[in-house]
Chains A and B, each alone.
Chain A
Amino acid sequence: MILIVAGIALLVAVEIVVATRLWRTSVPSDLRLPSLDPAREFPAGELRRAESFDAFGRWTFLGSQVVLLATLAVYAKHGWRFARESAAGPIGTGFLLGMLGIGIAWLTQVPFSIADFWWAKDHGVTNTDWATFLFGDWAALGGQFAFVCFALLVAMGFSRLLRRSWWLPATAVFAGLAVLFAFVTPLLLDLHEPHNPRLEADAAKIARQQGVSGIPLKVEEVRSDTTAPNAFAVGLGSTRRVVLWDTIAGFPRGEVRVVIAHEYGHQARHHISKGLGWSVLFLLPTTLLVALLTWRRGGLARPEAVPLALLIVVVLQVFTTPLRSAISRHMEAEADWAALQTTRDPAAMRGLFRNFTDVGYSDPDPPGWFQTLFGDHPSGLQRIEMAEAWERAHPH
């Protein structure tokens, strides 16, 4: 017992030290954001429309999370009964229980997904048709099943080999997988060259300014599926990319430059590697808790423990969402700051986030509790406030 407590204390200490290092940011610590009034920053109609659009998504999201947790709680209690449907040995039976748990959870989420999709279609945010939405979702479930089987193979395999200490090598494997996944993701996406010399020149200049000139800019064609604007940074090492959705192509040049600078900011500040680091920090206590809490059910080597393990993982995910959202917002704010430092164009940033509200129906000022708990990006208003703060700090 003393060893366990000491081990956990050591783990907590290591996590704190690493988290402190990962939390470091280039945003000035003394930066104070001005408090702007959204009613003065956005036209009343746009604001009302965006608020209405986002409010619906907020409630379906919260509803889906409650239903998810309740479903998995029931499954954790009774799911072992499905072991009777298996002739596959302990690990194979674990696969079945894991997949059925995901499947049941997926079923309970279908009404919320349909409601969200209907809402997005009603507002013209998505161009995907119903058949593609329904069948694509079904096909994606097969991928999730394959993933959960692999995760269970690792966890249950180590558990059978090492009993209680399975969580440590399993975490290492999962971390390795996360790194591999981050590395190969850009290779799996259907990305194209921008075929726009001015855009390419802007991107090359920004990349050079941020010290990441080897990272190419790519375009992903999503216009047939959605009208929402978006961009992202992906990859590790030689596969690093900055990707713009083609839905953003119609934005003014200055605003597109801000977007590009923001994404190169992610790459320049190693946010993907840092994100992986954070993932490991969350993974370690998750696997440890799964190991400890399933032990009374015979440990994860026994398939009956799988439904409980599933519940633990999802509960931890849900309840650490505020922390993970805060980390994400922290990195996004740093990328925004990098964009401002690079483009030195706060007016373009203000215009960009006004456009996001107009085109993407993104509520610029969601309720504080929701933004704190679940907002993974600074709100549109906060980002405009940062542009304002930068401008005040750089009067010339």
Chain B
Amino acid sequence: MPSEPVRITVADADLQRSRVTVLFRLILAIPHLIVLGIFAAIAIVLAPFHWLATLFSGNPPDALADYFRMLVRYSLQVYAYLYLTTARFPPWPGTNDEYAIDVSFPPAARQNRWSVGFRLLLALPALLLASALTGGFGFGFNGSATESALQGSGAAAAAAFLAWFACLVTGRMPQGLRDLQIYALGYATQAYSYLFLLTDQYPNAAPRAYPSAPMPDHPVTLSLSADDLRRSRLTTFFRLPLAVPHLIWLALWSIVALLVAIAAWLAALVRGQVPAALHRFLAAYVRYTTHFTAFLYLTANAFPGFTGTAGSYPAEATIAAPERQSRWTVLTRGILLLPAFVILSALGGIYGLTAIFAWWIALFTGRIPRGVRDAGAFALRYSTQTYAYALLLTPRYPYAGPGPGTSARNAPAAPEPAPPSYIPDQPVWTREAE
């Protein structure tokens, strides 16, 4: 039976940051990074003995397990400090001082020897995802060098890059970016705890498994409904070629949407609000891209329609009616979007990775794990909010935090999707024959 999960705790409610320590954060973190490097090097030497001892006895040896617990905790705290997730200089390893972010490990318990034997292999997908979340390797959609570089640095690092500027200006850490970092660092902590045999519970990719504030009211939300996590193996196997007609349609629609967006931009500059007809068209376009992306990345199962009709798909974007917008933010929307695209690019890498995992898992099991689905849904929600903001459907900036609002359980009130527009119970000819 799997043990309790590794839990992350956060005690940093005020989000205040000293501008001086923020300015020099990278330099201030150097002593900790050096110590962490030394401890990590020792861990590399100890890890094979730890693995062999656990494999033979079925239990991780206490002394070695304590060392790896210390390393995982210290690593979390150092990176949290480096990425501005926390304000205070972290304690040195082994002191057990209280800190704003901490981790609680489950008590040592027997582990399945097969799971221990293949731990490195089993942990590989989780480590890849952890790497894409915190820093390192990530899969991308865009070829531009800038985006690849930012994406390569991981979601937490991208958030830290943006937070550095925000903290210097406002002296405060943006809640969304902070929560995104906690999610990323929390997942990495679970992944390394699993790798180092501190738990036999697989890391949970679901954002709700990590502490975060609820998403503030936002005019653009994503709701997932009627998803039993089942995925048809056949449509999963052919998912990419099945997307071809949608890709062609999306390309055509995007050309028109771009022209309409320019018209909407001009109209919003003059009137301070996007005309209802243009808003409707662009909202349908954003809904369609959400439906299509959800299908392509296995966040949803059903083949989507081509019209972006509201309430027609299990992964539904809800977009509020047009509202007045500041002309200044309309005028500078292209510049304002840059930080959002940095985060979107990093989340896009994570979404791509979860889709690849989901594809393999669904192919064998006919289902996808809820955590993987929810991680994808978070990236999809952010993408929908970003494109809605880019296309002037809302004056509200996309919310980077993974807080409740993306999962079906916590979805904000949204119209219940209509049943799929074509689901026959049985062949029509049978009914006629009857």
Contact = CB atoms under 8 A, between A and B. Distances in A.
Contacts of B325: none
Contacts of B429: 296-298, 304
A86 B245 contact: no
A144 B234 CA distance: 17
Contacts of A149: 244-245
A44 interface: no
B427 A92 contact: no
A6 interface: no
Contact of B306 (A88, A138, A298): A88
B421 interface: yes
B423 interface: yes
A302 B428 contact: yes
B154 interface: no
Contacts of A141: 238, 241
A302 B428 CA distance: 9
13 contacts: A83-B423, A84-B423, A87-B304, A87-B312, A87-B422, A88-B302, A88-B305, A89-B307, A92-B306, A92-B422, A103-B237, A103-B238, A304-B428
B41 interface: no
Contacts of A96: 235, 242, 303
B424 A85 contact: no
Nearest to A104: B234
Contacts of A83: 422-424
A89 B428 contact: no
Contacts of B423: 83-84, 86
Interface residues of B, number: 31
B245 A145 contact: yes
B234 A89 contact: no
B387 interface: no
Interface residues of A, number: 31
Interface of A: 80, 82-90, 92-93, 95-96, 99-100, 103-104, 138, 141-143, 145-146, 149, 296-298, 302-304
A87 B313 CA distance: 6
B402 interface: no
B240 interface: yes
Nearest to A146: B244
A36 to B, nearest CB: 48
B428 A86 contact: no
B422 A103 contact: no
B235 A297 contact: no
A298 B241 CA distance: 28
A89 B235 CA distance: 17
Interface centre among A92, A138, A298 (most CB of B within 10 A): A92
B314 interface: yes
A297 B428 contact: yes
Contact of A88 (B232, B244, B421): B421
Contacts of B313: 87
Contacts of A298: 428-429, 432
B169 interface: no
B67 to A, nearest CB: 45
Contact of A85 (B235, B237, B244): B235
B316 to A, nearest CB: 10
Given A86-B303, A297-B428, A145 B420 contact: no
Contacts of B432: 296, 298
B411 to A, nearest CB: 18
A80 B305 contact: no
B255 interface: no
A242 B393 CA distance: 54
